[in-house]
Structure 1
Amino acid sequence: MHVVVEPTGQHRRSSLIALGVAALLSACATPAPTTAPESVQASVTKPLTPPAIVASPAPVVSSAEETALRQLVSLQDRLDRVAGPLLVNNPALCKRNARRLLGFTAKTKYSYSTEFIPAAQKLLNLDERLRVTGVLAGSGADKVGVLRGDSLIAVNNKVLPQGANAERQAASLLAPMVTARGNVKLTVLRENRQIVLDVPLTMACAFRIELGNTDAVNAYSDGYRVLVTRGMLAYVKSDKELAYVLAREMAHNALSHPIRLRSSATIAGVIDNLIRINPDLGMVNGTAGIKPYSQEIDAAADVTGLFMAARAGYDIDGASTFWQGLASQYPVAALNGYTALHPATAYRIAALDKATSDLHAKEAMQKPLLP
C-alpha cells in the first residue's frame, strides 16, 4: 500500500504521490458512491477499536472558500484521472521510478492548508481519520473494491493513526509492509461497517501529480513530481492533449533529465511554490532560473512520452499538431510559458513525426511498444 505523506498545514496535498516505499493516489475528490462492485472480495470481521472521533460543530464556510475548494477538487480530479492510465501502464518506461503501489489516496481535513480545513470538513466530509479520496483505475485497490469515502481503520491489523500527522505516520507504518509483501489486508469503515479487503499491490510509475496555482501555461518535472499549471489545464482542449503534457513531463523524470542537468533543485523550488494556495508568482517570472532544455534532450522526452501515451491507450496522432499549436500561441518570447523552456519546436516535431510512424509500425507487427 503506497502512502503519500508530506508535511501538513503549509501546502495543498495533491495527486498520485509516491514516497519511495508507498503511494496513495492523491486526488482531491468528492466522496463517491458507497456500494462496492459485486466482484469485490471483502469480508466483515470482528471490528477493531480505533480511537473514537469526537464530533465537532459544523464549520462555518464562506462562499469564496467553498468555490475555491470545489475548483481545486475539480482540477486535481481531472489531473489524476488522466494521469492514472499513464502511471499504471508504464512501469517498464519509468525504470528506477517504478514502485509497488496500493493505488489510492487518503486524506484528512488537515491535508489542506489552514484556511481550507473547514471547507474540507464540510464539503468533502473529511475529519481526523484518513479517508479515501481517489482510486487509481486498474490498480489492485480498484479491482478489490476500495471506494472513495472509505475511512481507513487498519492495515494488516495495525490501527492507522489519526489527526494532523496521520499521513506522515501512516507512511512510516506502511513502508516496511509494502517492501516485503505482494498484498496488504486493509480494514475500512463503510456505512458504519468494518470491511476487510485483501489489496494486491500494483506496479506503477511513482510520480506525484501536482496542480500549479497559476494561470501561466506551463508544466514542470523535477525528477520525482510532475506539475501542470491551472493555465495549462485551461489551454488543453481534451484529456488526450492533457495526456500529452503529462506523459512528456513523466518522460523527463523517467529519463532523469532534471537530475542529469542539475536542475532538479531549482524546479523543485518552483513546484513547492506553485502548489501553495497563494503562491509567490514573482518567483516564477520569466523562466524562474530554469535553463531551457536542449533539442536532443527535449526530443528524447517527446519520443518516450509518445510511447507512454500510446501504452496508456491515448490516441497519439494529434501530438505533433498539439505541440505546434502551443508553440505558436505561446512562443519562446513568452518567458513564463512552456515553449520558453522547450524552444526547439521544429526539431521536436520532426522527432515526434518519426516516432509516430515507428510506433504505428510496431503496433501493426504486434511488437512491444518500447522506444
Structure 2
Amino acid sequence: MVQQKTINTFGTLSLASATGAAALLLSACSTLQPQPAAPAAPAAVVSSVTEAPPQVTARMAEARKQLGDMVALQERLYRVAGPLLINNADLCRTQARNLLGFTAKNKYSYPGDFADAAAAVLNYGDRLEVASVLAGSGAARVGLRKGDGLVAAEGKLLPVGANAETDAAAILGPLASSARTITLTIARGGNNQQLKMPVTRACAFKIDIGNSDNVNAYSDGQRVMITRGMIHFAQSDEAIAYVLAKDIAHNVLGHAATTKQAYTVGGIIDNLVSVRPDLSMLIGSAGVKPMPQELDAAADRLSLYMVARAGYSVEGAHAFWQKLATQYPASVLNGYNANHPGIAYRLSAIDKTVAEIRSKQSAQRPLVP
C-alpha cells in the first residue's frame, strides 16, 4: 500500500483531514512561499544515437502494480463512503465540515519508486490533478472529473511541484470554510475552463485503506481505516458500507476517547497506511483492548441509520456480521472480532434496529435514531 498525501477535498479522505478538518476540506497546512524563477532551459544537444527507452526493472514493475491495485481500492472506498459522509452530516454533529468534494494528487504524492509509477501508470506530472470526486458532492454536481488539472481557485494560481499539496491546502482550506461556492479554474482537453463549485457539508473523517491482509477495521476518533483484507472479505459495496459506517459511528460517539484507545489505534493506522508497514506490530493483540459490547451495540445502532440514510439496504447487516464472526471468531488475533467480541449482544441490537428502521421507512418517518 502506498502512503498518499492526497488533497482532501472530500471531507475525510486524506491530507488535512487528520487535523479534524475532514479529508476533503484541506486545512491550511503551511504558508504559500514564493516560487523561484525556473532556470533557463539548456541548449538542445543533437545526437545521431537513438536512445533506448528506460528499462522497466522488476522493482519498477512491482511498484506500478502495487500503485494500480491501491488506487483501485481507494477509489472504490471513496465511492462507497461518499453517501455515508454527505447524507449523515447532521448525525456527525460537531464533526461535520464544509468540504470541497474531491481529492487531488500529482506524482509527488507518492514516495520513491512510486513517484515514477504514478507518472507511468496515472500520467501524473507536476500539476495537481483531480484523483477522485465524492459522489453527491457539489464538485460532482458541477461536473468536475477525474484527471482535471487544478489551475486556480478564485483567480489565485494553485501551486505545482513537490510541495503543491501542502501549499494548495493553504489556499483551498480557508476558501472551503468561509464560502458557499468556489470558482475553480481547471485544465481539461488542452483548454482552461471555470467551474462555480458549491462546497459540500459532510462528516469530516479521514478514510484510508490499510496495507494488510488481516480482516479488520480501525477508528481513532478522527480517522477510519479498512484493511485490504477486510475489503476482500466484504466483497460487496453494501458490506463495505456496513464496516465504514460502524467505524464512523464509533468516531461520532467518541468511543476511542472513552476506551482510551485513540493513541494505540492511531499508531496502528499510521503504520498500516505506510508503503511498507511493520506487520510485527500486529503480533498478539497489538495492544488493542476489546470494545465493550454496550459501546459496540451503540455504534451498530447509529451505523445502521447512517447506512439507510445513505441509500444502502440494512437487510443484510445481520448476515454479514454473523458470517464475519463465524469465519474470523474472536480467537483469531488481529481480526475484527478479536477487537469486537460481543457478537451475540451486537446481533440482538442489530435486529432491533433493523426492525425500527423498516417501521420508520414504511411510515415515511424521518430516519433519526
Instruction: Give TM class, smaller chain.
Output: 0.7 to 0.9
User: Do the aligned partners of 2:105 and 2:130 also contact (CA within 8 Å) in 1?
Assistant: yes
Instruction: Give me the whole-angstrom Cα distance separating, in 2, the residues matched to 1:149 and 1:74.
Output: 15
Deviations 1:68-95 (A, max 9, x none): 1111111111111111111111101111
Which of 228, 231, 253 in structure 2 is aligned with 1:230?
228
> 1:39 matched to which residue of 2?
none
Measured in 2, the distance between the counterparts of 1:25 and 1:317 equals 33
Aligned residue number for residue 94 of structure 1: 92
Task: Give SS of 2:276's match.
Answer: coil
1:43-62 to structure 2, matched below 5 A, reads: 61=56, 62=60
What are the equivalent positions in structure 2 for 1:196-345 lying under 5 Å apart?
Answer: 196-345=194-343
Alignment of 1:117-196 (within 5 A): 117-196=115-194
Tell me the distance in 2 between the aligned counterparts of 1:52 and 1:20.
36
Counterpart Cα distance in 2 of 1:222 and 1:59: 43
Residue 70 of structure 1 pairs with residue 62 of structure 2? no
Instruction: Report if the CA contact (8 A) 1:24-1:101 is conserved.
Output: yes
Q: Matches of 1:177 and 1:324 in 2, distance apart?
A: 45
Structure 1 contact 25–105 (Cα < 8 Å) conserved: no
Residues 139-188 of structure 1, C-alpha deviations (whole Å, 9 max, x = no match): 10001111110110111111111111111111122222222211111011
Percent sequence identity over matched residues? 50
Please, which of 80, 88, 92 is the counterpart of residue 82 of structure 1? Answer: 80
What displacement does 1:195 show?
Answer: 0.6
Superposition CA RMSD, Å? 2.3
- 1:20 Cα shift? 4.2
**In 2: Cα distance, 1:156 partner to 1:341 partner:** 47
Structure 2 partner of 1:24? 24
- For 1:216, what is the secondary structure of its paired residue? coil
Structure 1 residue 209, shift from structure 2 partner: 1.2
The alpha-carbon deviation at position 219 of structure 1 amounts to: 0.4
Alignment TM-score, normalising by the size of structure 2: 0.87
- Segments of 5+ residues of structure 2 without an aligned counterpart are 7-11, 27-36, 42-50
SS of alignment partner, residue 134 of structure 1: strand
| 2:202 counterpart SS class | strand
* Alpha-carbon distance between aligned partners in 1 of 2:175 and 2:157, rounded to the nearest angstrom: 14
- The answer for unaligned runs of 5 or more in structure 1 is 1-9, 27-50
Cα distance per residue 1:290-317 (max 9 Å; x no partner): 1111011000010111111100111111
1:12 and 2:4 aligned: yes
> What residue identity is the alignment partner of 1:347?
Y
- Counterparts of 2:304 and 2:284 in 1: how far apart (Å)? 28
Which amino acid is the alignment partner of residue 11 of structure 1? Q
Paired residues in the alignment total: 338
